Structure 1
Amino acid sequence: MKHMRTVNDVMTHAVVSLDLAAPVHDIVATMRRWGFGSLPVLSPEGRVAGVVSEADLLAKAEGTDASHTVTAAQLMTVPPVTVPKDASIAGAARLMARGHFKRLPVVDGGGRLVGVVSRGDLLKIYLRPDEDIAEELRELFMTRLIPSGTATVRIHVDHGVVRLDGDVSDPALVGVLPRIARSVPGVVDVSSGLHSKVTA
């Protein structure tokens, strides 16, 4: 299974969006049909020009029959808050938490819409199979951090909780490996029974 590291790994690729000329009636109908509280508004080139939310509709169209005269271009919030598709899952989570966003448009390097990421999408990392997490840790430890033949590290994962046991020749790895393990998406907690083979 693919390791989940970036927004591109967890986002929803099929996106519902609006064009700049969409009237209020169509915006509301689209939101109700799909159950979304906000929608990205696209320029003719497919770039995210803004975002229209339920709050925008209530604040700017309140008390008027604007269903055919006010458009998404007039209602949308600009500049839009977006997240790059190669952003880390942790970085996207921090951005959503700071801005109290439930969903964010995901863009490519040219600012074009390629998906949408929600809070629920970001939580997918905690549904990773234990063996997938263990495989990533083995690959990370044995191919990048531990010289061949210098350590015996056993990795056990149970519902995202990692247990590391074994002996390492470099005393620094006793502290480093658990810290690295905690950074792997899907890891909930880490306990360590690692020991250094170096004796005084």
Structure 2
Amino acid sequence: MQVRDFMIRKIITVKQSTTVKELISILETNRIGGVPVVDDKGNLVGIVSDGDIVRFLSPHKEKIYLAYYATYVEEAEKIEDVLRERMNTPIEEIMVKKHIKTLAPDEDFESAIRLISRHHFKKIPVVNGAGRVVGIISRGDIIHNLSKSIFNEEASTEGKREF
């Protein structure tokens, strides 16, 4: 079985100029946890997840700096201020740009399992030879495929029982 046999083909992508606010709306509306970021030709340039958003919007605690003659205190940020200041930030500033792992449509099922388990990814973009995003694989897709495989195998062996 190849990646193309179980990847999600109807994918949602965003551009680098998409704002954090727009991204939150897209993730919430579609009930997903992350999306590939593409250029105008559909080529993969990054990936952004709900975790990236949470880390970006997390307010900083109070900081104390000790200098030789003085002590400086930086106030803790308030979530309201953070949201007001950061919601219109382009996701280009928070997306993962380097070391993005991808799969090709013709790779085998085992490659997908190994890649997701080795790197603890929730989703992996599927990219064709031209670098365009053509699908996405999630942990749920792998579990669904394993489940189908297990139950199909059990059903075929139950019919072969000898009495």
The alignment's C-alpha RMSD in Å is 2.3
Q: How far apart are 1:159 and its partner, in Å? A: 3.1
Structure 2 unaligned blocks of 5 or more:
60-81
Out of 108, 124, 134, which is 2:145 matched to?
A: 124
Greater strand share, 1 or 2? 1
Q: Aligned runs of 1:20-169 on 2, under 5 Å? A: 20-63=16-59, 64=82, 65-68=85-88, 70-79=89-98, 80-122=100-142, 123-128=144-149, 130=152, 158-159=154-155
| Secondary structure, aligned partner of 1:159 | helix
Q: What stretches of structure 1 move > 6 A for 4+ residues in a row?
A: none
For the 8 Å contact 1:126–1:160, the answer to whether it is kept is no
Residues 120 and 160 of structure 1, relative CA distance in 2, 3 Å threshold: farther
1:102-160 residue CA offsets vs partner (Å, 9 max, x unmatched):
21111101110001111222232541584xxxxxxxxxxxxxxxxxxxxxxxxxx5436
Instruction: Show the counterpart of 2:7.
Output: 11
The superposition leaves residues 135-190 of structure 1 with CA deviations (integer Å, 9 ceiling, x where unpaired) of xxxxxxxxxxxxxxxxxxxxxx543659x9xxxxxxxxxxxxxxxxxxxxxxxxxx
Equivalent residue pairs, number: 133
Instruction: Give CA-to-partner distance per residue, 1:56-107, whole Å, 9 cap, x none.
Output: 1122233322111x11211101222221111111111110011111211111
Give me the whole-angstrom Cα distance separating, in 2, the residues matched to 1:39 and 1:84: 17
1:120 maps to a residue whose letter is G
2-structure distance, mates of 1:56, 1:49: 16
Once residues 156 and 16 of structure 2 are traced to their aligned partners in structure 1, the CA distance between those partners, rounded to angstroms, is 44
1:93 is paired with a residue whose SS is helix
**Percent identical:** 26
State the Cα distance separating 1:18 from its structure 2 match.
Answer: 0.7
- Distance (Å, rounded) in 2 between the aligned partners of 1:81 and 1:67: 28
Residue equivalent to 1:182: none
The letter of the residue matching 2:145 is K
* Distance in 2 separating the partners of 1:159 and 1:91: 26
Q: Check whether the contact 1:18–1:41 (CA below 8 A) recurs between aligned residues.
A: yes
Higher Cα radius of gyration: 1
User: TM-score under structure 1 normalisation?
Assistant: 0.60
> SS of 1:18's equivalent?
coil
| 1:38–1:53 Cα contact (<8 Å) kept | yes
Q: Which amino acid aligns with 1:58?
A: V
Q: Which stretches in structure 1 are left out of the alignment for 5+ residues?
A: 131-156, 165-200
